[in-house]
Amino acid sequence: MKLQHVYEAQQFTLPKLLELFNLADDMERIVNRGGTKDYQSKIMASLFYEPSTRTRFSFESAMLRLGGSVISTERAQEFSSVMLGESLEDTVRVVGNYSDVIVLRSNEIGGAKRAAEVSSVPVINAGDGKGGQHPTQALLDLYTIHKEVKTIDGVKVAMVGNLADGRTVRSLAYLLGKFERVKLYFVAPPALQMKQDILDYLARHNCWFTLESDLKKVLPEVDVLYVTRIEQEVLDQHEKINREIASSFFINAEMMKLLRPNGLVMHPLPRLSEIAPAVDADPRSAYFRQTRNGVLIRMALLVSLWE
Amino acid sequence: MKLQHVYEAQQFTLPKLLELFNLADDMERIVNRGGTKDYQSKIMASLFYEPSTRTRFSFESAMLRLGGSVISTERAQEFSSVMLGESLEDTVRVVGNYSDVIVLRSNEIGGAKRAAEVSSVPVINAGDGKGGQHPTQALLDLYTIHKEVKTIDGVKVAMVGNLADGRTVRSLAYLLGKFERVKLYFVAPPALQMKQDILDYLARHNCWFTLESDLKKVLPEVDVLYVTRIEQEVLDQHEKINREIASSFFINAEMMKLLRPNGLVMHPLPRLSEIAPAVDADPRSAYFRQTRNGVLIRMALLVSLWE
Amino acid sequence: MKLQHVYEAQQFTLPKLLELFNLADDMERIVNRGGTKDYQSKIMASLFYEPSTRTRFSFESAMLRLGGSVISTERAQEFSSVMLGESLEDTVRVVGNYSDVIVLRSNEIGGAKRAAEVSSVPVINAGDGKGGQHPTQALLDLYTIHKEVKTIDGVKVAMVGNLADGRTVRSLAYLLGKFERVKLYFVAPPALQMKQDILDYLARHNCWFTLESDLKKVLPEVDVLYVTRIEQEVLDQHEKINREIASSFFINAEMMKLLRPNGLVMHPLPRLSEIAPAVDADPRSAYFRQTRNGVLIRMALLVSLWE
């Protein structure tokens, strides 16, 4: 699989996803052996228009494990030339002369695609704009299910939290919809339920789903519980939601008893109080392993650009 | 050529410039082969007192292509010790104990020279203060002419835009004045014309020049059209200039018809609307190639410090 | 000596200190040979919650001299996930999946210890909170005495400046108290004298000390003069101190005549006007050499984590 750019999750067909996951498995073996120097002539530019140190560190770690090196900014908006009014396209053309791949965190929806159109080197979307794409997060989530549940076909996934605004759950639902016999349980207070566009998409792909508000009922059914943050400002807007959440959506040791012995708890992080710290030691808690898988997926994507 | 420090364009004699350009040509071959590891024991410190991510990335890319590594800050003014009142000299002495070369973007005119006087490792000036020196930009501009026009002696260069305040055009005019039979056309509205000190310098060096305000008349004459930004605040000050500019100094496809088939369009970037995006695809547009040449010149300078 | 984490100076016993100093001597030989590539598979994460570019550069230089590589932020407080309310513990767990060692500059006292408790990779404290620990500074100070005076047992050290609030002098006094026949001279205006807790500690360890206010009297007695900053805000509070300081605590060429020919002047830097620039050229001025020793000590600590 040779990639030119990575700008949206949709560009990956099902066979390409599985190819990518196999490559990520290879990357794990490489990391366990202490990394490689195969890509030591490559330079990655981290071009972040808004800070996202976690994502930046993950990409940079991936690049360094491959033997490459990094030039990095997380305040490209203060880039002297950007302040002077330079277009994203010009910036990308210039940075492409300093590097072999650009990891772009844009502050505009569609920024990565615009960048890819003019760039002389591959561009990877590291999140573009609030509500835009963050394809590598979606890929690492799916890879974690693939790796830990062993198969994605037939998997039963509950998504809980603020599904209406959650970029990660929307992307993951989108990708899961491509697989066979997947069952999705959207668990949220009505005001924060998964939006109609995704439900329509799933219906078109004959993907089974249900809308729920009682997590306790759903928990025993599923292989994966994917928890997302409900931001404080959302809670502040809905006093009613606030109480419902507090009483029914928080994951604690009690809740974990309802989950299957080989079930998984995932979370895109950062977490607030959706998951009690006491749950961290449970082997079914996969959220920190997800971040490790993120490095592997990003290594696999980088390798796919150059092979 | 062994360099001790790089603080101003004036320190380069004509033979040293040509030696540097030959070395930059070598660097291009090295980059095309995937870089070198010859300098893997070297650490470069990017010590930027004001953000200039483009310049920083260019230097860091140069260092990484040579196999070296980088420690980097672009907000040295928030350096805890600087905030506590530490002098530039002390900071440089300390950073010299952490690195093998310091690339300094100072916010004071003459900062690089002061740093060089006390530093135990070589210092390279990456721009010092508004109106101060930025020698590596001048060198990369001159190198681009050398490389693309093949010879600097006898070259005809039009400089257009805000010549009064333009650091890059002033430095380039200064360096071009050292060569034989160069002809310079300064094209600007009278209020933004090249200042008398440079004109006097050129006169002393018997370098031919003319002051123009009609770009269309000049364009068919020249080998190189060097365009610079006229900042919005300058335009705002001069309503009359604003209209003149709009009507006569913007480079578009129509204007390009007046330029020789083997002419060059250069620009220090970032560009605003001085050059229409439609011009980018013209092979005579050298402004993005300039940024690539910047990496090569900086590699050559770094190598010159250690060889 | 295998270390798990480095969170406080107190964790080092006397034999471990000497072992560390021997290792730092080895590191100097390695640096003089151009560094090593032995740790090229290792990634260090610089996780700084407040800027301290000097400390960050020193650690990163140490890591690069060992052949390793670095991912780095000096504004972890703007870490998108931290802004969203992520705990230090969660951040450290995540960053541990991107790196092989975390160098943490926390803004909370005890931050490094909390981090060490949950981290899957070693954590090194690079300063935690105002008034908290900064063990590597204390170690490099002690190493400088060890290296330049040859022995720590029996050394006579004068500490001058703001001893009441000085983290470095407090830590150094603490460590010196573990050695034999050390004599400490605390020279400060009464309001800024060394606090009782340290004096009690020294008394318990039978370490000789005296409280003085006349530096001229003390200078001829000592092997080491350790000068610290008296911050402007402290001076502003005490008009009386201000004048006393100005008249008696500044180190100039005149003062240096009172110091033994083989005495040492140390300073944690940054310096303000406590030491006149004219003193820099005196071979007894060790403050810039201290920063170089800092790289060696940090290399030794990093190696101790992995060997």
Q: How many CB pairs under 8 A join A and B?
A: 72
- The most confident of the ranges A136-140, A167-171, C10-14 is A136-140
Asked if residue C130 has pLDDT above 80, the reply is: no
| Buried/exposed code over C182-191 (b: 16+ C-beta within 10 A; e: otherwise) | bbbbbbbbee
Q: Does A60 touch chain C (CB under 8 A)?
A: yes
Whether B117 and chain C come into contact, CB under 8 Å, resolves to no
Chains touching C (at least 3 CB pairs under 8 A) are: A, B
| Chain C residue nearest residue A53, CA to CA | C79
CATH class held by domain B135-290: alpha beta
| C226 beta partners | C159, C266
| Cα–Cα distance, B160 to B173 (Å, whole number) | 12
Q: Which of C57, C227, C280, C287 to mutate to test the interface with B (most CBs of B within 10 A)?
A: C57
Which residue on chain C is closest to B76 by alpha carbon? Answer: C53
Contact C53 B73 (CB under 8 A): yes
Please report the pLDDT score of residue B165 as a whole number: 85
Q: Which of C69, C90, C97 sits opposite A270 (nearest CB)?
A: C90
Q: Could you say which of C64, C231, C272 has the minimum Cβ distance to residue B43?
A: C64
B69 — contact with chain A (CB < 8 Å)? yes
- Collapsing DSSP states into helix, strand and coil, what is residue C8? coil
What is the average pLDDT value for chain A, to the nearest integer? 93
- Yes or no: say if B297 and B20 are a contact pair by the CB < 8 Å rule: yes
Q: What is the mean pLDDT of residues C278-303?
A: 98
Return the pLDDT at C244. Answer: 67
Greatest CA separation found in chain B? 57
What tokens appear for B217 in the block? 């008349």
Pick from A34, A72, A295: which is nearest to C98 by CB?
A: A295
The answer to whether the Cβ–Cβ distance between C271 and B41 falls below 8 Å is no
Contact A288 C41 (CB under 8 A): no
For testing contact with chain A, the best of C39, C98, C104 (most A CBs within 10 A): C98
Task: With CB atoms and an 8 Å threshold, state whether A53 touches C86.
Answer: no
A-interface mutation test, from B28, B32, B42, B54, most A Cβ less than 10 A away: B54
- Do B288 and A75 make contact, defined as CB atoms within 8 angstroms? no
Q: How many CB pairs under 8 A join A and C?
A: 72
Q: What is the mean pLDDT of residues B211-234?
A: 92
Nearest residue on chain A to C45, judged by CA atoms?
A57
Give ranges for CATH 3.40.50.1370 in chain B.
9-133+291-306, 135-290
A54 interfacial to chain C (CB closer than 8 Å): yes
Query: Which residue in A39, A54, A71 has the most chain C C-beta atoms within 10 A of its own C-beta, making it the best mutation to test that interface?
Result: A54
- The β-bridge partners of A70 are A44
CB contact under 8 A, A272 and C85: yes
Q: pLDDT class for A229, splitting at 50, 70, 90? A: confident
Asked if the Cβ–Cβ distance from B84 to C229 is below 8 Å, we say yes
pLDDT at C246: 64
First to last CA, chain A: 8
What string of DSSP letters covers C56-91?
A: HHHHHHHHHHTT-EEEEES-GGG-HHHHTT--HHHH
Residue B73 to chain A, least CA–CA distance (Å): 10
Tokens linked to C42: 């290792």
> For residue B103, what are the contacts with CB-CB under 8 A and spacing of at least 6?
B44, B45, B46, B47, B56, B59, B123, B124, B126
Minimum CA–CA partner of B65 in chain A: A41
Selected residues 184-223 of chain A with any CB under 8 Å from a CB in chain C:
none
Quote the minimal CA–CA distance from B39 to chain A in Å: 13
- Residue pLDDT, tens place only, B153-202: 999 999 999 999 888 999 999 999 999 999 999 999 888 999 999 999 99
Q: Residue B81: which of C50, C270, C288 has the nearest Cβ?
A: C270
- Give B76's pLDDT tier (boundaries 50, 70, 90): confident
Pairing mode, strands C156-160 and C101-106:
unpaired
Chain A hits for B44, Cβ within 8 Å: none
Amino acid at site C301: L
**Among C40, C41, C87, the residue to mutate for chain A (most A Cβ within 10 A):** C41
Residue A1's Cβ-side half-sphere holds a number of Cα atoms within 13 Å equal to 22
Exposure class string for C103-127: b at 16+ Cβ within 10 A, else e: bbbbbeeebbbbbbebbebbbbbbb
For helices A14-32 and A53-65, the axis angle rounded to 10 degrees is: 70
Is B37 an 8 Å CB contact of chain C?
no
pTM assigned to the model? 0.96
CB C240 within 8 A of CB C213: no
pLDDT band of C75, cuts 50, 70, 90: confident
Q: How far is C242 from C234, CA to CA, in rounded Å?
A: 9
- Across the interface, whether the CB atoms of B71 and C51 are under 8 A apart is answered no
Residues 6+ apart with CB under 8 A from A58: A291, A294, A295, A298, C98
Average pLDDT over every residue of C259-272: 95
Tell me, yes or no, if B78 comes closer than 8 A to chain C by beta carbon: yes
Closest approach of chain C CAs to the CA of A281, in angstroms? 11
Residue of B nearest to A37 (CA): B37
- Nearest-CA distance from C272 to chain B in Å? 6
The one-letter code for the residue type at B114 is: R
Contacts for B278 with CB less than 8 Å, ≥ 6 apart: B252, B253
* More confident site: C79 or A33: A33
Residue with tokens 């006349």, as numbered in its chain? C214
Nearest CA in chain A to B233: A84
The pLDDT assigned to C193 comes to 94
Report residue B246's pLDDT band, with 50, 70 and 90 as the boundaries. Answer: low
| Rg, chain B, Cα only | 20
Quick one: CA torsion of A258, A259, A260, A265, rounded to 10 degrees?
-170
The stretch A167-193 carries a mean pLDDT of 94
The shortest C-alpha distance from C41 to chain A (Å) reads: 5
Residues 245-304 of C with CB under 8 A from B: 269-272, 277, 288, 291-292, 294-295
Contact A35, C62 (CB under 8 A): no
Phi-psi region of C34 (alpha: psi -120 to 50; beta: other; left: phi over 0): left
Amino acid letter, B44: M
Question: Considering only CA atoms, which of C99, C249, C237 is closest in space to residue C188?
Answer: C249
Mean pLDDT of A21-39: 96
Residue-wise pLDDT for B118-165, tens only, equals 999 999 999 987 777 899 999 999 999 999 999 999 999 999 999 998
What are C123's strand-pairing partners? C102
pLDDT for A80 beyond 70: no
CA-based nearest distance B30→chain A, Å: 11
A47: amino acid identity, one letter: L
* pLDDT tens profile A116-147: 999 999 999 999 877 778 999 999 999 999 99
Is residue C91 within 8 A of residue C118, CB to CB? The reply is no
C37 contact residues in B (CB cutoff 8 A)? 40
What residues have CB less than 8 Å from A243, skipping those under 6 apart?
Answer: none
Helical (H) or strand (E) element with C301: helix C287-306
What's chain A look like in SS3? Answer: CCCCCECCHHHCCHHHHHHHHHHHHHHHHHHHCCCCCCCCCCEEEEEECCCCHHHHHHHHHHHHHCCCEEEEECCHHHCHHHHCCCCHHHHHHHHCCCCCEEEEEECCCCHHHHHHHHCCCCEEEEEECCCCCCHHHHHHHHHHHHHHHCCCCCCEEEEECCCCCCHHHHHHHHHHCCCCCCEEEEECCHHHCCCHHHHHHHHHCCCEEEEECCHHHHHHHCCEEEECCCCHHHHHHCHHHHHHHHHHCCECHHHHCCCCCCCEEECCCCCCCCECHHHCCCCCECHHHHHHHHHHHHHHHHHHHHC
From residue A109, alpha-carbon distances to A30, A45, A105 in Å are 34, 20, 10
Give the orientation angle of helix B111-118 with respect to helix B88-95, to 10 degrees.
50
- Cα–chain center distance at B47: 18
Are B270 and A75 inside 8 Å of each other by CB? no
CA distance B168 to B156: 17
Q: Which of C41, C84, C89 sits opposite A35 (nearest CB)?
A: C41
C57/B contact by beta carbon, under 8 A:
yes
List chain C residues with CB under 8 Å of A294: 97
pLDDT digits 0-9 by tens, C200-232: 999 999 999 999 989 999 999 999 999 998 877
**Residue C183 — φ and ψ, nearest 5°?**
-120, 130
Query: Given an 8 Å threshold on Cβ–Cβ distance, is A97 in contact with B291?
Result: yes
Q: What confidence tens digit (pLDDT) does each residue in C142-195 have?
A: 999 999 999 999 999 999 999 998 889 999 999 999 999 999 999 998 889 999
Q: Does C60 touch chain B (CB under 8 A)?
A: yes
B288 contacts A78? CB cut-off 8 A: no
Is C86–A37 a contact, with Cβ atoms under 8 angstroms apart? no
* Distance separating alpha carbons of residues C28 and C65, to the nearest angstrom: 10
Tell me: cis bond preceding A261? Omega within 30 of 0 counts: no
ipTM above 0.90, yes or no: yes
Torsions phi, psi of B37, nearest 5? -115, 15
CA distance linking residue A136 with residue A295, whole number of Å = 10
Is the CB of B73 less than 8 angstroms away from the CB of C54? no
**What does the mean pLDDT of chain B come to?**
93
Closest residue in C to B119 (Cα–Cα): C288
CATH of C9-133+291-306, one of 3.40.50.1370, 3.40.980.10, 2.60.40.420, 3.90.1750.10: 3.40.50.1370
Q: What is the DSSP letter of B6?
A: B
Give the position of tokens 């470069």.
B44
Interchain proximity A86–B270, CB inside 8 Å:
yes
Confidence of residue B244 (pLDDT cuts 50, 70, 90): low
Q: Does A80 contact B231 at a Cβ distance shorter than 8 Å?
A: no
d(CA B188, CA B249): 8
